[in-house]
Amino acid sequence: MNFPMPTLRVTAHGLALEDVPLTTIAATYGTPCYVYSRTAIEEAFERYRTALPPERAEICYAVKANGNLSILRLLAARGAGFDIVSRGELERVLAAGGEAKRVVFSGVAKGAAEIRRALEVGIGVFNVESAAELTRIAHIAREMGRRAPVALRINPDVDPKTHPYISTGLKRNKFGIPVAEALALYRQAKSMPELELVGIACHIGSQLLDPSPLLEAAERVKDAVEQLERNGIALRHIDLGGGLGIRYRDETPPDIPAVLRALAERFADRPERLMFEPGRSLVGNAGLLLTRVEYLKHGEEQDFALVDAGMNDLMRPALYDAWHEIVPVVPRSGPVRRYDVVGPVCESSDFLGRGRELALEAGDLLAVLSAGAYGMAMSSNYNARPRPAEVLVEGATHRLIRAREPLEALWALEQ
Ligand SMILES: *Cc1c(COP(=O)(O)O)cnc(C)c1O
């Protein structure tokens, strides 16, 4: 079988991530459990890092895809900057030893306390999404006697051809500033002494499989940069966002170095440094969710595999009807049936996969593949379910990078 995860292997003892059998992980840490491959994350990062010379491009990992400190730490050690969307993510980056100067603060509704904290620690740039936010940042910077580094996130109005919930670069989306309004706002920003204009940004959506909308957005950004230059506004960097897609099923993901080089080509005559904000394409195919079959239920119309992971652990299928490959850890012979693989949560949207052809018995382990991005990050405690443990493997070693949530933690803040 040709798995969508580069470091997942078939062995005599069943599936292994790198050299660690998934049966060992289940026996050591229990299920459900997220398991990540350090090698897969580092290789994905290296594809970005080596695509262009470092003086030409900077890679800022989008923390929201998976903010585990151990993952942030290993990316920081390889030279990653970070794209954040909240104070919580900022504190995670700092706790992991990330450099404040290499932090990009994205997000449409930054709160005053978040802006204050980001200024206090000295982040690299605020990607500003509205005139009102620009005014707020300037006001807070003045109060603090600081200068705030800002870039405007423009909305290039291109269709990224992805799921509507993860599409961000169309006029009807809440993100960014319309190109037509950007020049006036840059002029306004330039007149404010507490702001330092450092860049321009865009991000059009996620799980992009076709790179042409990215190239189209890049053209719009370039037009804007040239217009700004004619108006006496010089910038230091051009941030092209993240969004490159990965293989979940049989998609052909974009070739990362080729896309970065094609984008850089468009800016060959520009001196500004480029920036990228990948999330999913760094960690998505590096992780899986390990779960155990509790029961099989053979209904009149549908066979169900009832497993110990639910929509609270991995929300993507319920939220976007997303498809994750589901494979038995130790394959068995026996009758194959078409199962809906469903969790214990009391919702009919609680499924991990539907209509999967599997030979199963109660107690079997299943691996839900390509769950490294927006898996644990989107998990919740719905139904008073503690969130899963997270484990990092490297070669033949494995270690816990987040303990399974103790039940008491669920009500620790309650009266
Ligand atoms: C979510 C997000 C990213 C990362 O997107 P991926 O699809 O995970 O690469 C980058 N930049 C911004 C502004 C985002 O909101």
Residues 187-234: pLDDT tens digits? 999 999 999 999 999 999 999 999 999 999 999 999 999 999 999 999
* Secondary structure of residue 411 in the 3-state scheme: helix
Q: Which residues, including other chains, have CB under 8 Å from residue 415's CB and lie 6 or more apart?
A: none
Q: How far is the CA of 65 from the centre of ligand 1 (A)?
A: 8
245 pocket-lining for ligand 1 (C-beta < 6 Å): no
Which residue CA neighbors atom 3 of ligand 1 most closely?
242
Rounded CA separation 307/310 (Å)? 7
Provide the CATH topology of domain 8-37+284-410: Lyase, Ornithine Decarboxylase; Chain A, domain 1 (2.40.37)
Instruction: Classify the C-alpha dihedral 163-166-168-171 as positive or negative.
Output: positive
Q: How far is the CA of 58 from the centre of ligand 1 (A)?
A: 15
142 known member of a binding site: no
Of all atoms in ligand 1, which is nearest to the CA of residue 168? 15
CA nearest neighbour of 286 among 98, 75, 104, 51 = 75
Q: Which residues, including other chains, have CB under 8 Å from residue 269's CB and lie 6 or more apart?
A: none
Residues 8-28: pLDDT tens digits? 999 998 999 999 999 999 999
Q: How far is the CA of 206 from the centre of ligand 1 (A)?
A: 6
243 pocket-lining for ligand 1 (C-beta < 6 Å): yes
62 pocket-lining for ligand 1 (C-beta < 6 Å): yes
116 known member of a binding site: no
Domain definitions of the chain by residue range: 8-37+284-410, 106-278
Residues 314-355: pLDDT tens digits? 999 999 999 999 999 999 999 999 999 999 999 989 999 999
Residues 256-288: pLDDT tens digits? 999 999 999 999 999 999 999 999 999 999 999
Mean pLDDT, the chain, integer: 96
Tokens for 14, please give them. Answer: 């069943």
**CATH classification of 106-278, choosing from 2.170.190.11, 3.20.20.10, 3.40.190.150, 1.20.120.530?**
3.20.20.10
350 pocket-lining for ligand 1 (C-beta < 6 Å): no
